[in-house]
């Protein structure tokens, strides 16, 4: 690709001109699809990844800095990271399917535990704010980890780490058995 065309696309992106997406798709779409397909190894998932990547590219177009990376490198990283996230998401969902007839989750007596009587919100305020924000988004606002990452503009890995640490902090308040019940009661 010529440097002039690349420069033109970057200018259009930074101006938030929709023509930039058309040009990106026309000149980079096949290659980025190949990147996604190599990671997820599934044509349908690769198409989803490509679409999600272009949405991210559009949303983050003002963050592109030509002094740090070439346009293709930036596009490649976004697409590859999106593909890895998608693959992890798909693998996590299939690995953690609940077998209702084998599960003993319902033996915890969650029906008798009500979060409003356990002062969950008040105890949530006892932990650091960065963990509060993530737990609030995931449990009280019902966001997925990816949605929380996008909404809060925090990397997905950081969301996962803060969730783990936040739950560990609540565990200190409620104890190991109660934190499972609290988590389940919030989710149900």
pTM of the model: 0.51
Compute the Cα dihedral for 30, 36, 40, 46 and give only its sign: negative
Any residues with CB less than 8 A from the CB of 179 and at least 6 apart, and which?
A: 167, 170, 171
**SS3 for 116-172, per residue?**
HHCCHHHHHCCCCHHHHHHHHHHHHCCCCHHHHHHHHCCCHHHHHHHHHHHHHHHHH
Distance of CA 61 to the CA centre of its chain: 18
Q: Which residues contact 170 (CB under 8 A, 6 or more apart)?
A: 123, 124, 127, 135, 179, 182
Q: Which two tokens stand for residue 113?
A: 């535990």
Distance of CA 29 to the CA centre of its chain: 23
Q: Given this model, what pLDDT does residue 109 score?
A: 44
* Closest of 13, 14, 15 to residue 25, by C-alpha: 13
pLDDT at residue 112 in the model? 44
- Sequential pLDDT tens for the chain (188 residues): 678 999 999 999 999 898 999 999 999 999 999 999 999 999 999 999 999 999 999 999 988 988 888 999 999 999 999 999 998 888 776 655 555 555 444 444 444 444 444 566 677 788 899 988 988 888 778 788 898 899 899 999 999 999 888 888 877 876 665 555 555 554 54
Q: Are 80 and 35 in contact (CB under 8 A)?
A: yes
Determine the pLDDT at residue 115: 47
């Amino acid at each position: 690709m010529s440097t002039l065309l690349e420069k033109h696309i970057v200018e259009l992106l930074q101006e938030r001109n929709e023509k930039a997406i058309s040009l990106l798709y026309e000149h980079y779409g096949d290659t980025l699809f190949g990147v996604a397909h190599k990671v997820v190894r599934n044509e349908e998932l690769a198409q989803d990844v490509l679409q999600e990547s272009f949405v991210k590219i559009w949303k983050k177009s003002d963050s592109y800095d030509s002094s740090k990376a070439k346009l293709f490198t930036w596009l490649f990283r976004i697409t590859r990271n999106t593909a890895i996230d998608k693959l992890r998401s798909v693998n996590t969902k299939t690995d953690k399917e609940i077998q209702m007839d084998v599960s003993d989750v319902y033996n915890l007596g969650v029906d008798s535990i009500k979060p409003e009587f356990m002062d969950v919100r008040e105890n949530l305020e006892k932990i650091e704010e960065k963990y509060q924000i993530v737990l609030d988004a995931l449990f009280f606002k019902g966001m997925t980890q990816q949605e929380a990452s996008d909404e809060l503009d925090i990397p997905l890995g950081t969301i996962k780490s803060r969730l783990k640490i936040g739950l560990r902090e609540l565990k200190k308040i409620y104890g190991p058995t109660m934190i499972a019940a609290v988590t389940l009661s919030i989710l149900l």
